[in-house]
Amino acid sequence: MRSYFINRLLSLIPVLFIVSVIIFMIIHLTPGDPAAMLLGEEASEQQIQDLREELGLDLPIITQYGHWILNALQGDLGTSYFMKQPVIDAIMSHLAPTVSVAIIAAFISLIISIPIGILAATRRGTNTDRTVMGISLLGMSVPSFLLGLFLILLFGVKLQWLPVAGYQPLSSGFVEHIKYLILPSIALGSMHAALIARMTRSSLLEVLNMNYIKTARSKGVSEFLVVMRHTLRNSFLPILTVIGQTLGALIAGAVVTETIFNIPGIGQLIINSVERRDYAVIQGVVLFVTCTYVFINLIIDLLYGVVDPRVRLNKK
Amino acid sequence: MKKISILLWAFALLFALAGCGKDSGKTAEGISEAPDGGEVKVAMSAQPPTLDVQLTTSTDAIDVAINIYETLVAQNSKQQAEPMLAEKIEKSDDGLTYTFELRKGVKFHNEKEMTSEDVVASMNRWLEKSSRALLLLEGTKFEATGDYTVEMKLQTPVTDVLDIMAGRGQFPAIMPSEVIASAKEDGVTENIGTGPFKFVEWKQDQFIRLEKFDQYTAAEGDSDGLVGDKKPHLDAIEFHIVTDSSTRLAGIQTGEYDIALNMPFDSYDQLINTKNLNTFSSFDSGTISVAYNKKTGVMSNQAIRQAINEGIDANSIMLAAVGNEDLYKLDAGYMSPENEDWATDAGSESYNQNDPQKAKKMLKDAGYKNEEVVVYSTKDYDHHYNAAVVLKEQLSQMGVNAKLEIYDWPTLLEKRSNPDNWDLLLVGTGYVTTPSQLLVLNPTYSGWTDDEKITASLEEIRVAETKEDALAQWSDLQAYMWNDYLPHTLFGHYASIITTTDKIENVEILNTALLWNVKKNN
């Protein structure tokens, strides 16, 4: 188990290195200049040139990459040209809203999806099953931005139950904090909920057909225990994989939802930084998101061992 | 986000929120009974790159910074220059020296009193940093001649120097001298001015918070545009950065925001028909035009430019750009039609001719041989893109082999600086206070207008003895621009849309919402 963990951590290094080179090259080869964006379209060539020199943008790309990677290895991701603050601070200040939305979205999708997935599997072929499958198909097909706009118009503009947009930090009170997160979390979580529900159903069905389930039933074990103790645990690996991917996707992929609901999270940070050609921030965020994704996958892999003893045995 | 906006309107129609009709474009006036205090949330469409307005021409930066910073002279509601931090201005007989008597007792937000030292440091930095000052006021210097007296020395007489100083882009904000001394290439590190509101907090990509400056010393005279007796009534203003226009729309409808700037054109009808909202369409936004690349390629041929101009149907282009006849004006003037000193329709005989057949013939006569004509535009500004699509269609009707190339804004900024890349460039330009500041006529601005007659004419405007002489000279120049040289073809003037809830009183609109006299009625 320990060597597995260490191997997984070491395998991060080439991944991060390749990602850093690719992202560095892509953004530096894209037309557009942070100095020109900062000074506006009326700035003279000389003013832009002066600022480029001050920001170190006139150096060869290889030199710039060298500086950046050496600093990054020491934990310094550079300074944002636009925000005039360290990139790590910018990421941290934009992280809380994204994590808040992701957690609530994951919570909402899990409490809905797993029970209805179980329900559909145990009532296979019935109207309940068909309804659940229909709704989940709809959930997967409706893009989150469309659902988001619908929610804004219905619950924000028309009924005025919830704020239409914005973000309040936890420090302004739990209720206030949650109020702003409900609609974006539903918009973001619905697609994942649908995915997890379908995965729960199919994975349960596979196990429910196994001989040992039939044996348990024939021995008179109650249906509830059959599902909860024997089936669910043994069918949990694929579900866990989807949950893990969901969490990663929620952190990395909240871009559109954050824009619509005006939540100042990581998604908005990256969009804004690309528009401003704020190289240091783009590089920093991509590295950060890559690390998060890889880390979540690592945790999920480790959880396999906890959930399913067969994985533990194989690893030995 | 355009697609998202369209979908939102589709949904909005479904909901069909009922409302009663109301006049637009009215300004709230009269004495308000509302008590002082309260906070106002303003939704703006983009985060400013910096609040150091001496460096940037970003309108988002200016919208915020006019509350923080003041200038020696500033614009009144008719866009004329009037003293602001200066009490008295004297001009020497030779027109080379201006003496500014400063108002005494004016405090910066750090509670230091403003003296000539601060003014000289600020103005000299502005002369170095502002591209307009560099171009138009070369060799000018500011010196302190007393604690409250400052002299500006010009190398040649410049009639419109005060108007240039009162301009909004890269404006000469007066800051404490120590802030100027510690400034870097990318801007000052502290935002300290003498304005009615002081800078408090900038939460990146979320909001910029200003609070009432208790020790604000207002000037004498009625409040008028950016001058006169400005009174901060509100406790605080928060400028929220809300990039998605449909979110700004939903937010102003629910009262999440009190004021929304830069509302989308296609929401105008909905906004003016919504109860509890006041919507202003303000015709001081600027012009939409197409720049010709006069350095290289087919458009460097003046006869070809004239041929294309002959075929342009400005009305269709403006209608496509803003989508509503109430939101644009067809007018040949390059200066704001509302600018009493400079507005003229000289040259309108060549404007909006809409004769593609004649254009076709003129093109042939001019020696156009079906060369490819590259038209640049961006989707980051919907109205630019929409105008470009119609322009391309009109060019095709004239027999021009036109090709539309669309880039995101940063890419466009870079690509358009190379004259080998493009022939026609869709541009939106903001209004300036004098013709000499027109980007259209700036030899370094995209399009590269470089013509002896234009240069000489601009010089004459700048040294004209009286305003009347200057206007006459400018009319001649504008006629020359239309009938002969054609640096750009102007399509029309467009409005910006600002919406407030009906709790907001006394808002004055001059390019943006002026907030110092505003009260919030709860």
Tell me the per-residue pLDDT of B24-69, one tens digit each, with 9 for 90 and over: 333 444 455 678 899 999 999 988 989 999 988 888 999 999 999 9
pLDDT at B2: 45
From chain B, the residues in CB contact with A146 under 8 A are: 7
Predicted ipTM?
Answer: 0.78
**Can you give the C-alpha Rg of chain B in angstroms?**
23
Which residues in chain B are closer than 8 Å to A184, comparing Cβ atoms? none
What is the distance between the alpha carbons of residues B45 and B64, in angstroms, rounded to a whole number?
12
Q: Is B255 left (phi over 0), alpha (psi -120 to 50) or beta?
A: left
Query: CB–CB of B250 and A153 under 8 A?
Result: yes
Residue B410 near chain A (CB below 8 Å): yes
The answer to whether residue B17 scores a pLDDT higher than 60 is: no
Shortest CA distance to A202 belongs to which of A127, A124, A131?
A124
Residue B50 contacts A where some CB pair is shorter than 8 Å: yes
Average pLDDT over residues B193-220: 94
Tokens linked to B152: 């500006």
Say if the Cβ atoms of B1 and A146 lie within 8 Å: no
Please tell me what DSSP assigns to residue B99.
Answer: E
Share of chain B above pLDDT 70, in %: 94
- pLDDT confidence of residue B14: 43
State yes or no: pLDDT of B353 exceeds 50.
yes
Measured CA to CA in angstroms, residue B58 lies from A45, B65, B239, B256, B464 at distances of: 17, 11, 15, 25, 31
| DSSP code string of B175-232 | --HHHHHT-BTTB-SS---SSSEEEEEEETTTEEEEEE-TT--PPSS--BTTBS----
pLDDT, averaged across chain A? 84
Binned at pLDDT 50, 70 and 90, residue A313 comes out as low
Taking contacts as CB-CB distances below 8 angstroms, the residues of chain A near B204 are 83, 85, 90, 93-94, 264
Comparing C-alpha atoms, which of B485, B180, B229 is closest to residue B350?
A: B485
| CA atoms of B437 and B81, how far apart (whole Å) | 15
Residues constituting chain B: 522
Which one has a higher pLDDT value, A139 or B61?
Answer: B61
- Shortest Cα–Cα distance, B302 to chain A (Å): 25
Q: Report the range of poorest mean pLDDT among A16-25, A249-258, B125-134, B322-331.
A: A249-258
How confident is the model over B83-99, as a mean pLDDT?
94
In percent, the amount of chain B with pLDDT more than 90 equals 70
B55/A39 CB distance under 8 A:
yes
- What's the average model confidence in pLDDT over A125-150? 87
The residue to which tokens 């010709």 are assigned: B292
DSSP code at position B59 = H
* Residue contact A262–B55, C-beta within 8 A: no
pLDDT at A122 over 60: yes
Under the banding of pLDDT at 50, 70 and 90, the label for residue A253 is: low
- Tell me if B198 sits within 8 A of B108, measured CB to CB: no
Q: Name which of A42, A81, A149 is nearest B131 (Cβ-Cβ).
A: A42
Determine the pLDDT at residue B167. Answer: 87
Tell me the average pLDDT across A263-274: 88
What pLDDT is attached to residue A48?
85
Q: Helix or strand or coil: residue B283?
A: strand
Say what angle helices A266-276 and A87-122 make with each other, to 10 degrees: 130
Instruction: State whether B250 and A33 contact (CB < 8 Å).
Output: no
Kindly report the average pLDDT of chain B as a whole number: 89
CA–CA distance, B118 with A231 (Å, rounded to integer) = 78
Per-residue pLDDT reduced to its tens digit, B136-164: 898 999 999 999 999 999 998 888 899 89
Of B7, B17, B131, the CB nearest to A43: B131
Q: Is the pLDDT of residue A299 over 50?
A: yes
Phi, psi (deg, nearest 5) at residue B456 = -65, -40
Contact between B88 and B82 under an 8 Å Cβ cutoff? The reply is no
Condensed to tens digits (0 to 9), the pLDDT of residues A79-100 reads 888 888 899 999 998 888 888 8
Are A255 and B244 in contact by the 8 Å Cβ rule? The answer is no
Distance from the Cα of A304 to chain B's closest Cα (Å) equals 39
pTM beyond cutoff 0.80: yes
The arithmetic mean of pLDDT across residues B414-418, rounded, is 90
Pure H helices in B446-494: 452-463, 467-480
Q: Which residues of B touch A30 (CB under 8 A)?
A: 411
Q: Are A265 and A250 within 8 A, CB to CB?
A: no
Nearest in space to A280 (alpha carbons), one of A137, A83, A102, A17: A83
**pLDDT-wise least confident of A241-250, B309-318, B389-398:** A241-250
pLDDT at B338 > cutoff 90: no
- CB < 8 Å from A in window 124-143 of B: 129, 131-132, 134
Q: What is the Cα–Cα distance from B429 to B75, expressed in whole angstroms? A: 19
What is the pLDDT at residue B1? 44
Which of A17-26, B86-95, B264-273, B295-304 is predicted least confidently?
A: A17-26
Note the pLDDT of residue A1: 62
Q: List residues bridging with B184 in a β-sheet.
A: B187
H helices, E strands: number in chain A: 17, 0
* HSE-CB of A49 using CA atoms within 13 angstroms: 3
Nearest CA in chain A to B130: A43
pLDDT of residue A27: 84
Q: Is the pLDDT of residue A223 over 70?
A: yes
How far apart (Å, rounded) are the C-alpha atoms in residues B203 and A102? 21
B402 or A251, which is more confident?
A: B402
Q: A196 vs chain B: nearest CA distance in angstroms?
A: 27
Provide the pLDDT confidence category of residue A252 given band limits of 50, 70 and 90. Answer: low
Q: In angstroms, what separates the C-alpha of A149 from chain B's closest C-alpha?
A: 6
Per-residue pLDDT at A60 exceeds 50 = yes
Token digits for A80? 């944002």
Examine the pLDDT at B393 and tell me if it is beyond 50: yes
Contacts of B169 in chain A (CB under 8 A): 40, 42
Q: Using CB atoms, which residue from A53, A259, A276 is nearest to B244?
A: A259
